């Protein structure tokens, strides 16, 4: 990576009520970012609508769309017009009965530069994603763009050091996570604080362990469970950018829409990896047990 600095933006948003309204908000955010000299914009997970995985319903599959399709055409057109690298996140209909949670990258062009299908799929109360998404089959492959090699992962992937490491080993220059995570409103404040701090900490650890900048864009606002089974989710925002030693470069608030903009020093990874050569000292001869589910 030869460039020194990269101006990035994270668009932390709430659901606006419809796909077109959400895409309108995204367009406004991209135009604002471009006007401020941003080159790379990361959007939140499943930004086209509500977080529908709070319940299991076959009706929600109507929200899925093909890639390429309506949303990629609109976002790609904006990426080309505004000369932006954009990381989007869509509910992909690959075929009837086959769906993925898919990140799509545009490189200053209407054409799709690459995509990543979410590999780790959760199945927890209010996060019933296994009902909707087939695990990704593309692997952990960075996507080449004009601003660098993007190691794009999605939400639940955030908890797995293996995912970040494999992106780093494949030559990623940055780690990026579109995200949708929040609290059960019935949890007490201490539990809420522990959860949010754990989410931030584990990602900062990925930045440190791999010597790479990291961008994490979360949604914000309360979304009710339409089925009334759970208490709904209060998405905790807190989108942030960290440097290669885990240092905060920028952080959004818990509540409220926000276009978070900062500059990333892309040359620092080289320096950090020289003083902390974690890749050099890995004992790859001793890690075979990582391929086991558990050591009995």
Question: Residue 200 — φ and ψ, nearest 5°?
Answer: -65, -45
Rounded distance, CA 181 to CA 94, Å? Answer: 25
Among 118, 129, 223, 258, the active-site one is 118
Catalytic residue among 13, 45, 92, 129: 45
Burial class (CB in 10 A: 0-12, 13-18, 19+), 95: exposed
Is 45 considered catalytic here? Answer: yes
What's the CA gap between 20 and 190, in Å, rounded? 37
The 10 Å CB-count burial string (b at 16+, else e) for 19-46 is beebbebbeebbeebbeeebbbbbbbbb
Concerning whether 118 is annotated as a catalytic residue, the answer is yes
The SS3 assignment for 204 reads helix
- Residue tagged active-site, from 39, 155, 217, 258: 155
CB 264 within 8 A of CB 270: no
In DSSP terms, 176 is beta-bridged to 152, 215
Whole-angstrom Cα distance, residue 268 to residue 19?
A: 39
Stretch (H or E) spanning 116: strand 112-117
Contacts of 168 (CB under 8 A, 6+ apart): 151, 175, 210, 211, 212, 279
Active site residues: 45, 118, 155
């Amino acid at each position: 990576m030869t460039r020194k600095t990269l101006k990035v933006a994270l668009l932390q948003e709430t659901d606006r009520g419809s796909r077109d309204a959400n895409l309108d908000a995204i367009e406004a955010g991209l135009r604002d970012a471009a006007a401020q000299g941003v080159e790379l914009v990361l959007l939140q997970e499943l930004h086209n609508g509500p977080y529908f995985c709070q319940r299991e319903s076959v009706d929600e599959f109507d929200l899925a769309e093909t890639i390429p399709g309506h949303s990629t055409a609109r976002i790609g057109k904006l990426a080309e017009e505004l000369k932006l690298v954009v990381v989007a996140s869509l509910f992909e209909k690959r075929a009837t009965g086959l769906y993925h949670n898919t990140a799509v990258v545009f490189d200053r062009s209407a054409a799709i530069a690459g995509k990543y299908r979410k590999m780790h799929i959760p199945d927890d109360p209010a996060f019933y994603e296994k009902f909707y998404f087939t695990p990704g089959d593309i692997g952990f492959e960075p996507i080449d763009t004009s601003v660098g090699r993007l190691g794009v992962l999605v939400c639940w992937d955030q908890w797995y050091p293996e995912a970040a490491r494999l992106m780093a080993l494949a030559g990623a220059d940055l780690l990026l996570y579109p995200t949708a995570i929040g609290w059960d409103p019935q949890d007490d404040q201490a539990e809420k604080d522990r959860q949010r701090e754990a989410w931030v900490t584990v990602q900062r650890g990925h930045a440190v362990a791999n010597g790479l900048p990291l961008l994490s864009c979360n949604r914000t606002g309360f979304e009710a469970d339409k089925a009334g089974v759970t208490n709904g989710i209060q998405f905790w925002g807190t989108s942030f950018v960290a440097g290669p030693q885990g240092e905060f470069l920028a952080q959004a608030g818990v509540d409220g829409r926000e276009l978070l903009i900062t500059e990333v020093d892309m040359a620092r990874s080289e320096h950090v990896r020289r003083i902390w050569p974690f890749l050099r000292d890995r004992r790859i001869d001793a890690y075979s047990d990582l391929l086991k589910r558990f050591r009995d």
